[in-house]
């Protein structure tokens, strides 16, 4: 369905994210016919380009980041025609009136700040001061949204000085993933799961976001943030919220976001014995974390595992175990909901090593859902039990091109449509930092070093123990 005509201004339009994700994503939406004839994209950056040079850079980016079969030359040429470039000094006053002059009054203006957060305030101020933004305009900002509660509050204040909350779109690209949204459909569009979705029936929940890549190339940024700030405060927290939240009364921005904030507010403080931090060491011809960040004394974690308790009626007594890390065995993101055992086993030979019912929501790769069930082992051996997976892969069930749409494509179109449901509200980001800050501070004060783990492993032994000591086990990674 085509969206309304728009003017989209991208600040940082020649930066890594814009070249890798935003502009190729917009191209694919253009190709699919979602972008109307009158839509225009204006790039802006520090370089003193003209529109022709900018088109060349973006043409090269599309060629670099999209496979050949997705980018027919004539479609690319038609897309590039939509691009213009304005040279703007984000912290000075040049270029702003030129920008204002090319924007149209009768279409929605969207400003995408694909720049360092240190520039959010300066750009928001100039958009307002030079009359570029209107009360209908939208502003999109990228992660990291602050590095602690104080800086997140300052960023919110900077934006809110010039834009209303309803105009601000804070991106967490995990919310743009097809399967993450499917989690809401699974829970709230089916009558099957929700009655069981509580501590009476669920023993515990595991949320794993494992990556096989290291931090190579982004060492400088990563060493300042670590897995807590880079992944847990945002992406894993979003997954936790969507898994644990109460059903919103409707699928509308504030109804959904109100419920997510309540989950974060209900989190108990995390005890130090309930959190494990790790750092990968060298192996399999791969550099160690120290080598990747070029800092032998680094105490930044590339892996975190923790046990969380949500203190509310639904979840009291059901822990949520989270883990994420770099250079692990495989790239796997999944949510495993493990159900309690039946109250009484009538069969004389309960199976050895039975793991029990579980619903496994695979976010990536191989997106789908698995329901682990106990059945009778086939054959004449009597009433012996075994476990099988009832497996559903979205690609098989719904067609193979299901997941070709990238999170960015979907989120940018949501901004154009004015739908904030999949964007973080200011109070939500602050609540997540308010939860993460004491954990980060306690860790820094403890002076402890992260525990080492092998490249290609499931993380440190201590993370396995986090579940073992509770009589539980992580699902294997990969
Ligand atoms: C980013 C983090 O936000 O998410 C990266 O900064 C991480 O460190 C990435 O690799 C993971 O995203 P995805 O979509 O590949 O799971």
User: Across the beta sheet with 83-87, what order do the strands follow?
Assistant: 83-87, 40-45, 6-11, 108-113, 138-141, 168-170
d(CA 348, CA 344): 11
The confidence score (pLDDT) of residue 68 equals 93
d(CA 312, CA 259): 13
Residue 215, CA atoms < 13 Å, CB-side half-sphere = 30
**pLDDT tops 90 at residue 22:** yes
Q: Is 26 annotated for ligand binding?
A: no
Torsional class of 303: left (φ above 0), alpha (ψ -120 to 50), beta (otherwise): beta
pLDDT digits (tens, 9 = 90+) for 338-360: 999 998 888 877 677 788 999 99
Strands (E), 212-331: 275-281, 303-308, 320-325
d(CA 307, CA 270): 7
Q: How many residues appear in the chain?
A: 478
Q: Is 376 annotated for ligand binding?
A: no
Q: How far is CA 246 from the centre of its chain?
A: 20
Instruction: State ipTM.
Output: 0.98
Q: Is the CB of 230 under 6 A from ligand 1?
A: yes
Q: Is the CB of 334 under 6 A from ligand 1?
A: no
Q: Return the higher-pLDDT residue of 465 and 365.
A: 465
| Confidence grade of residue 422 (pLDDT, cut at 50, 70, 90) | very high
**pLDDT tops 90 at residue 366:** no
Q: Is the CB of 142 under 6 A from ligand 1?
A: no
**pLDDT tops 90 at residue 382:** no
pLDDT digits (tens, 9 = 90+) for 145-187: 999 999 999 999 999 999 999 999 999 999 998 888 889 999 9
pLDDT digits (tens, 9 = 90+) for 180-217: 888 999 999 999 999 999 999 999 999 999 999 999 78
Mean pLDDT taken over the chain = 93
The confidence score (pLDDT) of residue 352 equals 76
Q: Is 336 annotated for ligand binding?
A: no
d(CA 478, CA 464): 15
CA of 446 to the centre of ligand 1 (A): 28
Q: Of 26-35, 46-55, 295-304, 378-387, which range is least confident?
A: 378-387
pLDDT digits (tens, 9 = 90+) for 103-137: 999 999 999 999 999 999 999 999 999 999 999 99
**pLDDT tops 90 at residue 402:** no
Q: Is the CB of 172 under 6 A from ligand 1?
A: no
Q: Return the higher-pLDDT residue of 283 and 15.
A: 15
The confidence score (pLDDT) of residue 401 equals 58
Backbone angles phi, psi at 66, to 5 degrees: -120, 140
Of 16, 181, 211, 216, the one to substitute when testing ligand 1's pocket (max ligand atoms within 8 A of C-beta) is 211
Q: Is the CB of 430 under 6 A from ligand 1?
A: no
**pLDDT tops 70 at residue 261:** yes
Which ligand 1 atom lies nearest to the CA of residue 230? 6
Q: Return the higher-pLDDT residue of 406 and 136.
A: 136
**pLDDT tops 90 at residue 282:** no
d(CA 450, CA 109): 46
The confidence score (pLDDT) of residue 395 equals 80
């Amino acid at each position: 369905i085509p969206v309304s005509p728009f003017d989209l201004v991208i600040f940082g339009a020649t930066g890594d994210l814009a070249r890798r994700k935003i502009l190729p994503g917009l191209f694919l939406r253009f190709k699919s016919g979602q972008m109307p004839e009158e839509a225009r994209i204006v790039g802006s950056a520090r370089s003193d380009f003209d529109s022709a040079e900018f088109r060349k850079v973006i043409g090269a980016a599309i060629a670099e980041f999209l496979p050949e079969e997705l980018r027919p030359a004539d479609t690319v040429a038609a897309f590039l025609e939509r691009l213009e470039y304005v040279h703007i000094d984000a912290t000075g006053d040049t270029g702003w009136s030129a920008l204002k002059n090319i924007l149209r009054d009768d279409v929605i203006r969207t400003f995408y700040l694909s720049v360092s957060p240190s520039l959010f305030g300066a750009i928001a101020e100039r958009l307002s001061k030079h009359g570029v933004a209107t009360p209908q305009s939208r502003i999109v900002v990228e992660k990291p949204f602050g590095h602690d509660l104080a800086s997140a509050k300052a960023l919110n204040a900077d934006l809110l000085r010039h834009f209303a909350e309803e105009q601000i779109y804070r991106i967490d690209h995990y919310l743009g993933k097809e399967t993450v949204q499917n989690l809401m459909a699974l829970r709230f569009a089916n009558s099957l799961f929700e009655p069981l979705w509580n501590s009476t029936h669920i023993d515990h929940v595991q949320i794993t976001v494992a990556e096989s890549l290291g931090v190579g190339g982004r060492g400088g940024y990563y060493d300042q943030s670590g897995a807590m700030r880079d992944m847990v405060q945002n992406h894993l927290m979003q997954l936790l919220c969507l898994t644990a939240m109460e059903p919103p009364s409707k699928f509308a921005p504030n109804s959904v976001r109100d419920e997510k904030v309540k989950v974060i507010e209900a989190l108990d403080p995390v005890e130090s014995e309930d959190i494990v931090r790790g750092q990968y060491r060298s192996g399999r011809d791969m550099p160690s974390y120290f080598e990747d960040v070029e800092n032998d004394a680094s105490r930044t974690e590339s892996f975190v595992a923790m046990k969380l308790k949500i203190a509310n009626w639904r979840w009291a007594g059901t822990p949520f175990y989270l883990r994420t890390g770099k250079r692990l065995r495989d790239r796997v993101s999944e949510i495993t909901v493990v159900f309690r055992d039946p109250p009484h086993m009538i069969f004389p030979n309960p199976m050895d090593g039975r793991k029990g019912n579980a619903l496994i929501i695979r976010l990536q790769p191989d997106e789908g859902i698995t329901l682990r069930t106990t059945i009778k082992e086939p054959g004449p051996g009597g009433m012996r039990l075994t476990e099988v997976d009832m497996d559903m892969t979205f690609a098989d069930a719904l067609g193979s091109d299901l997941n070709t749409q990238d999170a960015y494509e979907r989120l940018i179109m949501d901004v154009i449509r004015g739908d904030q449901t999949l964007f973080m509200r200011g109070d939500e980001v602050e609540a997540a930092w308010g939860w993460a800050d004491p954990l980060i501070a306690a860790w820094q004060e403890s002076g402890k070093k992260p525990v080492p783990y092998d490249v290609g492993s499931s993380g440190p032994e201590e993370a396995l123990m986090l579940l073992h000591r509770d009589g539980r086990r992580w699902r294997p990674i990969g």
